[in-house]
Amino acid sequence: MSSPILIPFKSLLSIDKSLKMPIYQQISNQLIHLIRNGTLKSGQKILSSRQFSEMLGVHRKTIVVVLDDLLAQGWLETKQGSGTFVANNLPEIKPQRLKETELSSTEYFSVKKAGFSFESKPVLQREVIKASDKLHLDDGFPDPRLAPLLDLSRAYRSNLIHGNSYVKLGYGDTKGSNWLRQELAKYLNESRGLSITENNILIVRGTMMAMYLLTTAFIKKGDFVVLGEMSWSSAKINFQHAGANILTIPSDENGMRVDLLEEICKQQTIRLIYITSHHDYPTTVTLKADRRIKLLNLAQKYRFIVFEDDYDYDFHYLSKPLLPLASADKAGVVLYSGSFTKSISPAFRVGYLIAPEEIVEHLSHFRRIIDRQGDLILENTIAELLQNGIIQKHLRKSLREYRERRDFFCELLQNDLKNEVSFQIPEGGMAVWTKFDNQIDLVKTAENALKYGLYFSNGLQHNLRDRNANATRLGFASSTINELEKCVNILKKSLVKNT
């Protein structure tokens, strides 16, 4: 058995009093590290508490705590009259040669490579849009500065501290807050012409979660799913991840070409169609009434699911919004999704899925697997704001502001970039689908603009296999009038022509 004198503890252990980590924890972690890497072998005798304290210059009680801790964890063991040893039942580990930077375990480290194999799907790897303080013409996000934050914080505090704590801060219904579902049923029935109760509502974190639950529950490998030709990439990725066969349909100025869908239905068994009927993504056009009727008729006839993503229904500028497909669905084929992400802010992850009662019940079982329940306090806060009419008031105010920003932004594009871009003034939504002249390199233009402090998408995600759209969504809602003017000035001087 090795003598503790032969182990150079003093060179292997170090104490950094500048760290927030307690000294006893530093020593304990380093000893465990030495055992794990084989420097201290099973059965190796270690120093006594007195020898340790003298060597490291710390109080003996600190070392006693360290040894007691490692004894309790099973790293060390004591032998009556002989001292303290590395536990005999530990597997043998061959000593590893340590680099200079690895001698101290008081610092944090990050393991970069996994010790097991896994499949990395390229389809899941894409750029994540993050908020920044730069100027931006984003994908069509709301302006959090307009959000009723004071009302929201007051309601949140009230729901946090008042009422039965065991109920409000405990586990709730996997379908979401019952109060929010009741208030949502009233709100959606009034604003969207639906005829639902709280039993038709599943609360989710957002449309992405609703779609993931949907694909997990209803899409099998090999199923045929139909999307718009230039559809939301997150939707497409969900269906691809589920192993679905993707079929696409082009859109025109009246929305998706539903007549082409009928031809597909005659040849293939369609499981689901994903559609943004109110403001088509990315082009923002509205699916016209005759096509809506035909789509519902086809869904009933061929018994496929219609997933209606109504991501920004509340922001329609020309007239009253067209009612969603779900409002006319009597056969239970439409699953309707929306969220408060575009109404308030992306930070508030509260969305909803409207479906027949048995589907809500079915999906709640899947939701429980990935998220036992949502943020019950936040959900009740949103319920209170709906009940008091605060969200409705906020939406009316935001609608006026976004309409003004849309008009100003479109006027800027027309006046300052009329030879470089073409677009239709959107009837609703928070972005302008903008086609750049083919002589302009949109990717390099986006890179150039970023150097000047302006972010916008380079549009690559909207390209099709056989053609470059050379177009992108320029979001106007999240910027003030003054900021939009600065954005267009930067965009104008950032243009790069193809060589």
pLDDT per position as a tens digit, 312-355: 888 888 877 788 889 989 899 999 999 888 777 777 788 999 99
Q: What is the reported pLDDT for 202?
A: 95
What is the band of 93 on the pLDDT scale with cuts at 50, 70, 90? low
* Residue recorded with tokens 């929010």: 180
Under 8 Å between Cβ of 184 and 157: no
More confidently predicted of 374 and 306: 306
Cα four-point dihedral sign 358, 359, 364, 366: positive
Q: What is the reported pLDDT for 103?
A: 45
Q: Write the single-letter amino acid at 157.
A: R
Cα angle 431-434-438, degrees, rounded to a multiple of 5: 160
Q: Which of 144, 51, 76 is nearest to 346 (CA)?
A: 144
Q: Does residue 91 register a pLDDT over 60?
A: yes
Looking only at the bridges linking them, the beta strands covering 305-309 and 334-339 are parallel
Cα angle 406-407-412, degrees, rounded to a multiple of 5: 95
What value does the mean pLDDT take over residues 152-166?
82
More confidently predicted of 132 and 310: 310
Cα angle 175-179-184, degrees, rounded to a multiple of 5: 80
The structural domains of the chain, with segments of one domain joined by +, span 4-102, 135-139+394-494, 147-392
3-state secondary structure of 269: coil
What is the rounded average pLDDT for all residues in the chain?
86
Give 147-392's CATH code, choosing from 3.30.450.90, 3.40.640.10, 3.30.450.20, 3.40.50.10470: 3.40.640.10
Residue 128 in tokens: 């994540």
Q: What is the reported pLDDT for 7?
A: 61
pTM of the model: 0.78
Under 8 Å between Cβ of 349 and 341: yes
What value does the mean pLDDT take over residues 417-426?
92
What is the band of 487 on the pLDDT scale with cuts at 50, 70, 90? very high
Which 8-state DSSP code applies to residue 205? S
Residue 121 in tokens: 């799907």
Give 135-139+394-494's CATH code, choosing from 3.90.1150.10, 3.30.360.10, 3.40.120.10, 2.60.40.10: 3.90.1150.10
What is the band of 46 on the pLDDT scale with cuts at 50, 70, 90? confident
User: How far is Cα 433 from Cα 459, in angstroms, rounded to an integer?
Assistant: 10
Residue 443 in tokens: 């990717």
Q: What is the reported pLDDT for 387?
A: 93
Q: What is the reported pLDDT for 101?
A: 47
For the chain, the straight-line distance linking the first and the last C-alpha, in angstroms and rounded, comes to 76
Under 8 Å between Cβ of 287 and 318: no
- pLDDT by residue (tens digit) across 97-140? 555 444 444 455 567 787 777 777 777 766 666 656 689 998 88
Q: What is the reported pLDDT for 94?
A: 63
Assign residue 265 a region (left: φ > 0; alpha: ψ between -120 and 50; beta: otherwise): alpha
Q: What is the reported pLDDT for 5?
A: 45
What ranges in 219-288 are assigned the alpha helix state H? 233-241, 258-267
Under 8 Å between Cβ of 137 and 474: yes
Q: Which of 137, 203, 498, 496 is nearest to 367 (CA)?
A: 203
What value does the mean pLDDT take over residues 420-429?
91
Question: Structurally, what CATH architecture does the domain formed by 4-102 represent?
Answer: Orthogonal Bundle (1.10)
Q: Does residue 200 register a pLDDT over 70?
A: yes
